[in-house]
Amino acid sequence: LYSMCKDDRILGALDRAARFHSAFAYPDGSMVETVDGRNWYHDTVRPGNPGFSHTPQGRGFLAQQHARIIAALPTTEMASTPPFDPDYAATMLIHSAEGELEPTAAASDEHTYRMGDLAAVHRRRPWFFCANAFRQDPHGNRWGQDWQNFVSVYHDEVGLVLGGGNTKLQPLWSNFSLGDISRLNHTPGDEDPVFLAEGIQHIPDKVKIEQVEKNLRVRLTYGETECVVSVLDLGDDQLGISYSCEDDGPIEGHLTLMPGFGNILKLSTGDAITLGEQPFAWSVPGQAGFVEHCGWRLLLPSNIRVEWPALPHDPYKKGGEPEAKAGRIVVVMPFGG
């Protein structure tokens, strides 16, 4: 539309969209799920559209996404399988503009982006952190997910490590929960589930993002209880995650880790578990332990358990049944009785 009418009011909207996409795309081209209230994380690389070509930030986004799509195509198929379908290529040729580009957050060695008080991205290669402060009271609409998971961390060599986005009927995906999590769950096949429950709070009343140099902190307020998640950049191959809570009631912290479905999860006890449809739970023995999976190792203190799979509710299926690979590895941290 802008390529035809050149209305600057449209250009302003294109610029805002380009800045958002330029900031909230991981280095592999997948989109940041932490600020998405509709869908949890998917590793799909979206190509974009001609509208992005009319601003420097948008051209940077297109350059990144196109490069990722081309790089993912096997060399043996380059001649017979073009990376873009003819309709997309023709639309880009007809309606795109040329000009200088501005690198995305992910393409930068170091970059910080703030969307007011609502979201923050911090890139220091090889790390990419995102913190979200969007929130909404729980509701009964299956299409709007519960705003419950406010931090994500990506590493260039490993991919998305923790985060994974939002869902419904799954308090284990929440950074914190107060009360009895068994009150909120989904029975696979239930076509008319109740999305609200008494006796549990898994969505905060207030969210605040704080950034101190290269570290991010998210303050989550549940009634009178304040909980904090901190992401600490300790070096190129080390990361600190801190969960704290000022109350001693029935509170749990939850750290959601991305699974490599079908791959091995190693435990400090020497056990090796293949992540499949079979669920498991493991408690840290003694004073400390660790779990290791797909290129990362997480050190854990005592009184912690690990669960798999914490499954989401799939709104695109009538009965809400998710595939097992959509589950999360969850580190459960009890804070009180």
Per-residue pLDDT of the chain (337 residues; tens, 9 = 90+): 677 777 788 889 999 999 999 999 999 999 999 999 999 999 999 999 999 999 999 999 999 999 999 998 887 666 678 889 999 999 999 999 999 999 999 999 999 999 999 999 999 999 999 999 999 999 999 999 999 999 999 999 999 999 999 999 999 999 999 999 999 998 888 999 999 999 999 999 999 999 988 899 999 999 999 999 999 999 999 999 999 998 778 999 999 999 999 999 999 999 999 999 999 999 999 899 999 999 999 999 999 999 999 999 999 999 999 999 999 999 999 997 6
User: What tokens were used for 1?
Assistant: 């539309």
| 90 backbone dihedrals φ, ψ, rounded to 5° | -65, -40
Q: Please name the residues in contact with 278: beta carbons below 8 A apart, sequence gap of 6 or more.
A: none
Backbone angles phi, psi at 181, to 5 degrees: -70, -20
> How many residues appear in the chain?
337
Distance CA(288)–CA(284), nearest Å, equals 6
With a threshold of 0.75, does the pTM exceed it?
A: yes
DSSP 260: -
**Per-domain residue ranges for the chain?**
2-95, 110-334
Cβ atoms 124, 192 nearer than 8 A = no
Which CATH code for domain 110-334? 2.70.98
Evaluate the omega torsion of the peptide bond into residue 83 and state whether it is cis, within 30 degrees of 0.
no
| Residue 288 Cα distances to 84, 269, 292, angstroms | 50, 11, 14
